């Protein structure tokens, strides 16, 4: 079953629900970065919620980037997504495999850490950028995003996200669901949400049993109306031109050093590990462009 995201709302329009299955997306990330189980679960959870943030964007020109650093062994984690369902991500240390002694569950909170932040940057296409940042609560990712929505976006939200890693280290199932209380919600809507959530089983287990994104919504709100749905998948939109634009923001002195001492440079895309070579001619073009712009 291909990954999918659905956007739904309760009949009284007081609660909105976004749910997605992300098994293949997480498996693509695992293969791309050779992720070990705890790193795979951490990045998988982060990308699954970032996919939903992408679906909340208003236009195709927009993009949302999430950065998490909690001071733990996994280092900095990055993920981004757009409203077309294209998602990508990477982590500082892909080779983390740690479990909690008592539950034997993957110790995501331990490798992420809680001494740090979750930052959301929305790129509106032009120069307009919105950034919200909150302190990490547990490092387990789901709680941290719930705190972000509630504090930074002032939308009370519940986030359920999970990644199941199989015995051969491949991704068995993954998914996420966000339930948000709209401003005109009543006390009874909030109570209904709390009741539904109190009995909700981990989404990764539900996906492992074969549930679709729509099924996830129906578990919590059987009468919710599905407003839209879209496919999700791993996609990196890097290109040599994008890195050229990045290089042109460097100091003239640094570029000249690369040109005269190293006779070129290479840049690696952290998301997909593609390496782009810039030879002397490329660097001269960039320096020429900077000179023409008076920089
Ligand atoms: Zn790339």
Check whether 1 has a pLDDT greater than 80: no
CA distance 44 to 49: 9
Of the two residues 294 and 256, the one the predictor is more confident about is 256
DSSP secondary structure code for residue 75 in this structure: -
Distances (CA, A) of 75 to 49, 112, 146, 201, 203: 19, 7, 21, 30, 26
pLDDT at 90: 98
Q: What is the side-by-side strand order in the sheet with 86-91?
A: 129-135, 117-123, 63-69, 77-81, 86-91, 233-234
DSSP assignment string, 6-36: EEEE-TTSSEEEEEEE-HHHHHHHHHHHT--
Q: Is the model more confident about 294 or about 178?
A: 178
| pLDDT of 295 over the 80 cut | no
From the CA of 107, how far away is ligand 1's center (Å)? 28
Residues contacting 159, CB < 8 A, separation 6+: 49, 142, 143, 145, 146, 149, 176, 177, 178
In angstroms, what is the span from residue 89 Cα to ligand 1's centroid? 10
Q: Give the distance (Å) from ligand 1 centre to CA of residue 132.
A: 25
Ligand 1 centroid to 269 CA: how many Å? Answer: 5
Q: Global pTM?
A: 0.93
Going from the Cα of 105 to the center of ligand 1, the distance in angstroms, rounded, reads 31
Rounded to whole angstroms, the Cα distance separating 280 from 292 reads 18
Burial of 77 (0-12, 13-18, 19+ CB in 10 A): buried
Residue 25, both tokens: 């997306």
d(CA 23, CA 186): 35
Compute, in angstroms, the gap from residue 30 CA to the centroid of ligand 1.
15
Distance 275 CA to ligand 1 centre (A): 9
Segment 241-265, tens digit of pLDDT: 989 988 988 999 999 999 999 999 9
**Rounded distance from Cα 75 to ligand 1 centre (Å):** 20
d(CA 52, CA 178): 8
pLDDT tier at 75, thresholds 50, 70, 90:
very high
Residue 141 gets the label, from left (phi > 0), alpha (psi -120 to 50) or beta, of: left
- pLDDT value for 272: 95
Other beta carbons less than 10 A from residue 130's beta carbon: 13
pLDDT in tens, 118-176: 999 998 876 668 889 999 999 999 999 999 999 999 999 999 999 999 999 999 999 99
Q: Tell me how far the alpha carbon of residue 268 lies from the centroid of ligand 1, in angstroms.
A: 8
Ligand 1 centroid to 115 CA: how many Å?
Answer: 29
Sorted by sequence, the CB contacts under 8 Å of residue 10 that are 6+ apart come out as 16, 17, 189, 221, 223, 224, 225
Please provide residue 281's backbone torsions phi and psi, each rounded to the nearest 5 degrees.
Answer: -60, -45
d(CA 40, CA 109): 13
If you measure from the C-alpha of residue 239 to the centroid of ligand 1, how many angstroms do you get, rounded to a whole number? 7
Instruction: Note the pLDDT tens digit of each residue in 17-68.
Output: 999 999 999 999 999 999 999 999 999 999 999 999 999 998 888 999 999 9
Helix or strand (DSSP H, E) at 164: strand 157-165
Decide: residue 230, CB within 10 A, 0-12 exposed, 13-18 middle, 19+ buried. middle
- Ligand 1 centroid distance, CA of 221 (Å): 38
Domains of the chain in sequence order? 4-234 (3.55.30.10), 240-292 (3.90.1280.10)
Centre of ligand 1 from the C-alpha of residue 99, in Å: 31
Residues 6 or more apart in contact with residue 201 via CB below 8 angstroms = none
Q: How many residues does the chain have?
A: 295
């Amino acid at each position: 079953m291909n990954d999918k995201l659905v956007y739904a709302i309760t009949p009284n329009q007081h609660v909105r629900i976004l749910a997605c299955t992300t098994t293949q997306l997480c498996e693509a990330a695992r293969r791309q970065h050779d992720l070990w189980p705890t790193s795979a679960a951490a990045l998988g959870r982060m990308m699954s919620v970032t996919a939903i943030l992408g679906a909340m964007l208003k236009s195709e020109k927009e993009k949302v980037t999430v950065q998490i650093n909690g001071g733990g062994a996994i280092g900095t984690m990055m993920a981004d997504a757009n409203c077309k369902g294209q998602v990508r991500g990477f982590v500082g240390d892909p080779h983390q495999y740690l479990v909690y002694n008592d539950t034997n569950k993957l110790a995501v909170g331990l490798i992420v850490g809680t001494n740090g932040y979750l930052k959301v940057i929305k790129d509106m296409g032009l120069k307009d950028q919105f950034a919200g940042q909150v302190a990490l609560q547990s490092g387990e990712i789901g709680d941290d995003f719930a705190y972000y929505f509630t504090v930074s976006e002032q939308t009370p939200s519940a986030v359920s996200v999970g990644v199941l890693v199989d015995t051969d280290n491949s991704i068995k199932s993954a998914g996420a669901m966000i339930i948000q209380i709209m401003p005109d919600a009543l006390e009874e809507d909030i109570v209904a949400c709390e009741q539904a959530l109190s009995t909700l089983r981990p989404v990764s287990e539900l996906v492992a049993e074969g549930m679709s994104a729509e099924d996830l919504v129906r578990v919590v709100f059987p009468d919710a109306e599905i407003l839209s749905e879209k496919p999700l998948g791993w996609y990196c939109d890097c290109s040599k031109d994008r890195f050229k634009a990045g290089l042109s923001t460097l100091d003239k002195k640094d570029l000249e050093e690369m040109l005269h001492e190293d006779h070129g440079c290479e840049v690696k895309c952290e998301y997909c590990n593609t390496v782009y070579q810039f030879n002397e001619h490329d660097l001269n073009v960039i320096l020429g462009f900077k000179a023409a712009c008076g920089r």
